[in-house]
Structure 1
Amino acid sequence: MTDPTPPWQWDEPTWRGHVDQVRAGRSLAPEAWPDGRRVAVAISFDSDHETPALRDGEVLPGKLAQGEYGARVGVPRILDLLEHQGVPATFFVPAVSALLHDGEVAAYAAAGHEVALHGWIHERNTALDRDSERDLMLRAADVLERQAGTRPTGLRTPSWDFSAATLDLVRELGLAYDSSLMADDEPYELLSRGEPTGVVELPVEWIRDDAPYFMMERFASLRPYTPPREVGRIWRDEFDAARAQGGLFQLTLHPHIIGHRSRMVVLAELLEHIAGTGDAWFATHADVVAHVGTRLAGAEPGVTA
């Protein structure tokens, strides 16, 4: 939605209305994590594969091959590492990725990982009208339910943003949580125009995402300037600070980005560091939501889930 009036000419109801459309409500950070663990660790993978290129109409083999690497090479490496470390994860999967790579979503589910919504073809939801966004969200949920065996309970919007309709659609679909917004380090309840929704937000952040550090565009200025081990140091510092505060460490990765050899080394070292503390709770996003969600009813979760 575009307002032709310059923002400096908006009256107070106008700028307040924009800000209040979707807002952070009460914190849902618990007093304790399950089994007395000091920190919750929610590792996620956005299995975009070829969909960002397809969304933008880039259909030549070169760009599509970059995405295919994620499914062909990155996903097997990731699943092997997670199995070796005993770490559950959440995979946010565009429906077209699931349809292109038969058996991938089923493999996630069979390994005990969560499968969650990530759009139809990695569309920019803010460019869609309500009916189109709703249609794609419903169709994507149907595809993932057929392939995973259970209906998704969470969403990460493909572009980490909400349209004017997104939160209403999340509620219509009965989703328990979103993981696209950035108003806190810890889980919180989403407000819709000032009213509590019961929807949990597990916040993301570009600091805790591999794409800003490692993306490459051949015909643009985008280059991966940060060495993998330096990125690993940032993520380790993020985890250590979350642990010191007794909070949540959430990480977003992409198989076609993190799945390369030198970057997988960094991810393996990070998971080993986390496990080595002895007091981290590795959980899917849905597990974290189930634990903190008891606060929505006014109860405080205990030390066991």
Structure 2
Amino acid sequence: MTNSFADFWRSPGIAFVPDADPGRGLIINRDRVERLRRPVRMRLSPSLTPEWLRDEAARWVFLPSLATGPVKGEPLAWFVDQTREFPAILAAEGRVVFQFDPEEALDGLLFERYCRPARPYTTLLPFHYHVVPGDVRVAIHRLVKGVLSRFRRPVFPAWPMDGAVEMLREVVWRAFERLQGRQPRPSFWPDGKPYAVTLTHDVDTSEGYPQIPEFLAIEKAHGVTSCWNVVLRSCVAHLSVLDGLAGAGHEIGLHGYSHDNRLAFLEPEAMRRRFEACQGICREYGIRGFRSPSLCRTPALFEMIAERFDYDSSCPDTESGTGCCTVYPFFRSPSVTAEDRGSRIEDRDGRRPLPSSILDPRRDRPPLLELPLSVPLDSALIMRGYSPTRILRAWRAKIAWIRRVGGLAVVGVHPERHFSGNPGMLAAYDRLLDFVCADRGAWIAKPREIARWWRDQSGASGLKNGGSGLWVVGFGEVRE
């Protein structure tokens, strides 16, 4: 299963034909292609503009390359670059011609090839950063963010709503309809519901466990269950809490071996040892999903996750100049193989190829499914200095936008008192569930249910049984 436009829209007829083909179809112009590797604004004609974009003049998109060879036709979209505009998509004689490669642009966004997520400074400390009290850590983060924002304010992706991938998908779909006439759109969620919602909690430390009953009471009052992502080193002292969560129908996910934020940056063998130490708890609680501590992520980490889990939820749709730019699930295998792309499969600097095991969808295991963290984390908003009232407004606005787009709202909150385990934030969470549960258009489900549904609908339902089959009961330790 890949992430091509035909796969997403479940319409095999969506295909790009060679630009030398004289017939009808979607054409990619490959005349005088130049490498661009930067974000540009894209303005759409009314015929290509989805309803949720009607109020915006243009939207940023990252463009790996651009064809500069001339094409005659009616412009349907334009790239806006500083003081000039130039055609991005043109229609002529039964053809729609793209001046860029939509599949290449899609892969670049989904797999964050436009950026390189920074390594947190917390991984460089000679001690575990959790020895610093939570309130103090929040204050330090706010100070650091304030200083950095004076020097670096990324224009792409937009925050808190981006939708660059959704725009590309809509553009291709509407271009296809221009050639073939109106087409029935697929229903992405059960019973024709327009969008989905899943509730998740990241329990970073032992300090979060005393507040869990308060969250459970709120969720029980609303008739919903959630996923609790736990860290091995802190959860082993609270297994009775995990037993209670699982017994009440909640999902348990893995949030790493330690929340020192170093996992994604370890050498492969050290990374593997950490995952192996978590085998017992994964087996015991049927853990199918993973979220990386502090959302730290690297290609090597995704390779390890793919060997052991059915889904990952470590990548935001947009956050601090990074993210996958979509609020829909997607598979972590590109639309084409490395052999097909050749030199296009490379990092931002164009030098270091990504591992072929990640790039090649023809591997012997089902591809890893990504559930993007599409609603801003409570911690991210608190670090920005948001009050509980303002956080609730931000949550509701983002979920309302996701409803318009038709995607998946992944909510993430922390039970620690310096995040959401305090009266003000608990009240905000309660009101958020009021908002979500009052909407009959929302399919509210646990992440593993979302993942199972998406795989089944996408024809990639071959789920792994807990990974490599090496799970053993017991809780491990790691020597580093």
* TM-score grouping bracket, smaller chain normalisation: 0.7 to 0.9
Deviation at 1:75, TM superposition (A): 0.5
Deviation at 1:159, TM superposition (A): 2.9
Gaps of 5+ in 2: 1-63, 65-103, 114-164, 170-184, 316-322, 334-356, 462-480
Give the 3 Å change call, closer, same or farther, for CA 235–295 of structure 1 in structure 2: same
Deviation at 1:138, TM superposition (A): 2.2
Which structure has the larger Rg?
A: 2
Which residue in the other structure is 1:209 paired with? 377
Give the 3 Å change call, closer, same or farther, for CA 296–276 of structure 1 in structure 2: closer
TM-score by length of 2: 0.48
Answer yes or no: is the 8 Å Cα contact 2:303–2:358 preserved in 1. Answer: no
Question: Match of 2:280, SS?
Answer: helix
Higher helix share: 1
Of residues 408, 425, 432 in structure 2, which corresponds to 1:248?
408
Answer yes or no: is the 8 Å Cα contact 1:190–1:198 preserved in 2. Answer: yes
Answer yes or no: is the 8 Å Cα contact 1:91–1:113 preserved in 2. Answer: yes
In 1, Cα distance between equivalents of 2:382 and 2:398: 18
**How big is each residue's C-alpha offset from its partner over 1:33-59, in whole Å with a ceiling of 9 and x where there is no partner?**
112322200110001124xxxxxxxxx
Which residue in the other structure is 1:76 paired with? 213
Question: Match of 1:268, SS?
Answer: helix
Question: Match of 1:75, SS?
Answer: helix
Which residue in the other structure is 1:218 paired with? none
Of residues 93, 111, 114 in structure 2, which corresponds to 1:23?
111
Identity of aligned residues (%): 26
Of residues 236, 240, 258 in structure 2, which corresponds to 1:99?
236
Which residue in the other structure is 2:223 paired with? 86
Matched to 1:264, the amino acid is L
- How does 1:158-173 map onto structure 2 within 5 Å? 158-173=293-308
Which residue in the other structure is 2:441 paired with? 279
Give the 3 Å change call, closer, same or farther, for CA 265–190 of structure 1 in structure 2: same
In 1, Cα distance between equivalents of 2:202 and 2:223: 20
Answer yes or no: is the 8 Å Cα contact 1:24–1:188 preserved in 2. Answer: no
Question: Match of 2:293, SS?
Answer: coil
Give the 3 Å change call, closer, same or farther, for CA 195–24 of structure 1 in structure 2: farther
Deviation at 1:24, TM superposition (A): 7.2
Question: Match of 1:91, SS?
Answer: strand
Which residue in the other structure is 1:226 paired with? 386
**Over 3 Å off, 4+ runs:** 24-30
In 1, Cα distance between equivalents of 2:312 and 2:370: 5
Gaps of 5+ in 1: 1-11, 51-67, 216-223, 300-305
In 2, Cα distance between equivalents of 1:91 and 1:290: 18
Of residues 396, 420, 423 in structure 2, which corresponds to 1:258?
420
- How does 1:105-254 map onto structure 2 within 5 Å? 105-123=242-260, 124-146=262-284, 148=285, 150=286, 152-173=287-308, 175-181=309-315, 182-183=323-324, 184-191=326-333, 193-196=358-361, 198-205=367-374, 208-215=376-383, 225-254=385-414
In 2, Cα distance between equivalents of 1:24 and 1:291: 25
Give the 3 Å change call, closer, same or farther, for CA 127–264 of structure 1 in structure 2: same
Higher relative contact order (CA 8 A, sep 6+): 1
Aligned length: 250
**How big is each residue's C-alpha offset from its partner over 1:120-168, in whole Å with a ceiling of 9 and x where there is no partner?**
111321331111111111222312433x3x2x11111113132342222
